[in-house]
Amino acid sequence: MQDILESSFRQIIDAVGEDVKREGLVDTPKRAAKAMEFLTQGYRQDLDEIINNAIFESDNDEMVIVKDIELYSLCEHHMLPFIGKCHIAYIPNGKVLGLSKFARIIDMFARRLQIQENLTRQIAEAVQQVTGAKGVGVVIEAKHMCMMMRGVEKQNSVMSSSMMLGTMRESQAARSEFLTLISR
Ligand SMILES: Nc1nc2c(ncn2[C@@H]2O[C@H](COP(=O)(O)OP(=O)(O)OP(=O)(O)O)[C@@H](O)[C@H]2O)c(=O)[nH]1
Ligand SMILES: [Zn+2]
């Protein structure tokens, strides 16, 4: 994988009119390949492995919210970054998830080529799958470099997407509680 990425980046550098042998660029294909491998490592992870059994019994059945988790992904149309925050809520059903695992779930799906809507759904479904929660809600707010650095070049628009499952979808009160708490 490293070899293929490295030679592809060499071709890109050449195609944009640069000299691959120029001093500052000699190691760039190798560095860029390593960076791209990291930014797409979500393809090589699986849910069981990252959760590592960090699921604990609890009789708390009130909503748990983890908000403002940073998110870095690559848009699947331009392979440019989109960057923002993810908020997750769930209503436990006898089991709670280790706190750090929400960030790990986000990263596992964000470090792939994505559109924001699908990323939002995949995170919600994964939380639902591992916790068996009564309800799960995920909101992502992100800025897309493909809209800022190129194309329409709009610097201030933020895309907001949400996915609600179970009680979070059915109950207006639960949904409002989540949305109110994350907007504070
Ligand atoms: N819904 C959604 N759209 C996205 C996301 N990331 C990028 N896009 C959009 O995907 C679309 C691709 O449109 P195309 O017309 O095929 O590509 P393009 O010519 O590069 O489009 P422009 O960005 O308008 O220049 C653009 O409207 C992007 O803004 C995302 O996460 N969700
Ligand atoms: Zn894009």
- What pLDDT is recorded for position 156? 93
- What pLDDT is recorded for position 89? 98
Q: Where in the chain is the domain with CATH 1.10.286.10?
A: 2-39
Q: Using the Cα atoms of residue 73, residue 76, residue 80 and residue 85 in order, give the sign of their dihedral.
A: negative
Per CATH, the number for 2-39 is 1.10.286.10
The catalytic position among 6, 75, 128, 177 is: 75
Q: Where in the chain is the domain with CATH 3.30.1130.10?
A: 54-183
Give the CATH fold of the 54-183 domain.
GTP Cyclohydrolase I, domain 2 (3.30.1130)
Q: 147 CB under 6 A from ligand 1? A: yes
Buried b (16+ CB within 10 A) or exposed e, 154-163: eeeeeeebbb
Decide if 145 contacts 128 (C-beta within 8 A).
no
Half-sphere exposure of 158 (CA within 13 A, CB side): 9
Q: Whose CA is nearest to atom 27 of ligand 1?
A: 147
What is the H or E stretch that residue 142 is in?
A: strand 135-144
The three-class DSSP label of residue 98 is coil
Q: Say whether 86 is catalytic.
A: no
Q: Using the Cα atoms of residue 35, residue 36, residue 42 and residue 45 in order, give the sign of their dihedral.
A: negative
Pocket test for ligand 1, best of 116, 118, 146 (most atoms within 8 A of CB): 146
Known binding residue 75? Answer is yes
- What pLDDT is recorded for position 110? 98
* Ligand 2 midpoint to CA 179 (Å): 27
- Which ligand is nearest to the Cα of residue 120, counting in written order? 1
Known binding residue 86? Answer is no
Decide if 29 contacts 7 (C-beta within 8 A).
yes
Ligand 1 atom closest to 78 (CA): 20
- What pLDDT is recorded for position 184? 83
Angle between helices 100-110 and 116-131 (to 10 degrees): 140
ipTM: 0.86
pLDDT by 10s per residue, the chain, length 184: 999 999 999 999 999 999 999 999 999 999 999 999 999 999 999 999 999 999 999 999 999 999 999 999 999 999 999 999 999 999 999 999 999 999 999 999 999 999 999 999 999 999 999 999 999 999 999 999 999 999 999 999 999 999 999 999 999 999 999 999 999 8
Query: Model-level pTM?
Result: 0.94
- Which ligand is nearest to the Cα of residue 71, counting in written order? 1
